[in-house]
Amino acid sequence: MRIKQNYSLKKHNTFGLDVRTKYFLEYENEADLYTLMRDEYFFSEQFMHIGQGSNLLFLGDYNGIIVHSAIVGAEILSEDEDSVLLSVGSGHDWDSLVSLCVENGWGGLENLSLIPGEAGAAAVQNIGAYGAEAADCIEEVHTFYLVEGEKRIFKKSECGYGYRTSFFKQEDNRGKYFVSRVVFRLSKKPEFNIDYGDVRKRLENKEITLKNVRNAVIEIRREKLPNVSEIGSAGSFFMNPYICKEHYEGLKKHYPDIKHYPVNEEVVKIPAAWLIEKCGLKGKTLGGAQIYERQPLVIVNRGNAAGSDIAALAEEVQAAVKEKFFIDLKPEVNYV
């Protein structure tokens, strides 16, 4: 176990905010987690588990313990001619995992290329992009349940997966489970999923292979989204809102070009990026925070933003969208 005191989280949040935590604690194996769960001091402080901090907005210093998994590595548990079962440490870098799978010809995660984060957080957030989500390939999530001090293994069916959500993100369960490993089932006979947005177009005249799909996704992401090692951001700041069909029909009368994706008979999903663009907010700045020109669903740190600048700009976006479209945008980013 590694413990640091009065530690800067600048490298541990993709907004690049220079906030500090009283303690930063990294566990390196499951034995560390058993030790931690029996430590009275640990439970006397407030604590929070993070991955790469790619979905967090720190509004100030953290007066407690930030916990991070340093369990890395991927090991094959079993395989047959159709698939491979891979157990991955929760601290394993997400895109390295995707790359490893693609190199080995294991399909399922290629659409999720270049998403900043780690395997454990991916399983908690159910990260998604280009028509795929982490849950599609998850078989089990291995956790430590802090309330009882014991290890608990969740089958995928017990993880409550939905759009950017899981059992572990629900109000009652938040912060009560630390993920140690995630078990993925990957296919040796991949079925490609290239119908989302520009992916198929990018692959015109190219063979549809895992590598080419990964490269297409990487190209699209590089064009639309800021590279978090150069410009601080947390990817999409808001979730795409779901509204009822009547609401959509009403809006369509005023905005015939409104984009929408049917969810079911009664509900449609509206791209938040479209709503924000229609409010004329692309490129808008507040302090050091800015609505990203190329993808207005993203708020970026222009270098010297405080967490409060980002939060204030987000609030402006919410108010504008509410006033114009009567839609509540919910942040995807978690405020700390």
Shortest gap between Cβ of 267 and ligand EPU (angstroms)? Answer: 15
Told to check if 277 binds ligand EPU by CB under 6 A, we report yes
Told to check if 271 binds ligand EPU by CB under 6 A, we report yes
Which CB atom, from 130 or from 325, has the smaller least distance to ligand EPU? 130
CA 227 vs CA 118, 298, 299, 304: distances in Å: 16, 12, 12, 17
Which CB atom, from 143 or from 295, has the smaller least distance to ligand EPU? 295
Of the candidates 190, 218, 53, 213, the residue with the CA atom closest to the CA atom of residue 120:
53
Count of beta carbons in the 10 Å neighbourhood of residue 129:
21
Residue 229 gets the label, from left (phi > 0), alpha (psi -120 to 50) or beta, of alpha
Query: Which residues from 87-106 bind ligand EPU, rule CB under 6 A?
Result: none
Instruction: Tell me the window of 81-89, 133-141, 201-209, 292-300 that interacts with ligand EPU (CB under 6 A).
Output: 292-300
Told to check if 83 binds ligand EPU by CB under 6 A, we report no
Shortest gap between Cβ of 274 and ligand EPU (angstroms)? Answer: 3
Tokens found for residue 335: 């405020």
Q: Active-site residue numbers?
A: 164, 236, 332
d(CA 165, CA 82): 29
Q: Are 2 and 28 in contact (CB under 8 A)?
A: yes
Instruction: Tell me the window of 64-72, 98-106, 204-212, 272-280 that interacts with ligand EPU (CB under 6 A).
Output: 272-280
Among 152, 259, 302, 330, binds ligand EPU (CB under 6 A): 259
Residue number, nearest CB to ligand EPU: 235
Told to check if 297 binds ligand EPU by CB under 6 A, we report yes
Told to check if 236 binds ligand EPU by CB under 6 A, we report yes
d(CA 116, CA 257): 32
Q: Are 275 and 295 in contact (CB under 8 A)?
A: no
H or E segment and range at residue 199: helix 199-202
d(CA 148, CA 34): 11
Among 240, 290, 301, 306, binds ligand EPU (CB under 6 A): 240
Among 23, 27, 47, 130, binds ligand EPU (CB under 6 A): 130
Footprint on this chain of ligand EPU (rule: CB under 6 A) = 129-130, 196-197, 224-225, 235-236, 239-240, 259, 271, 273-274, 277, 295-297, 332
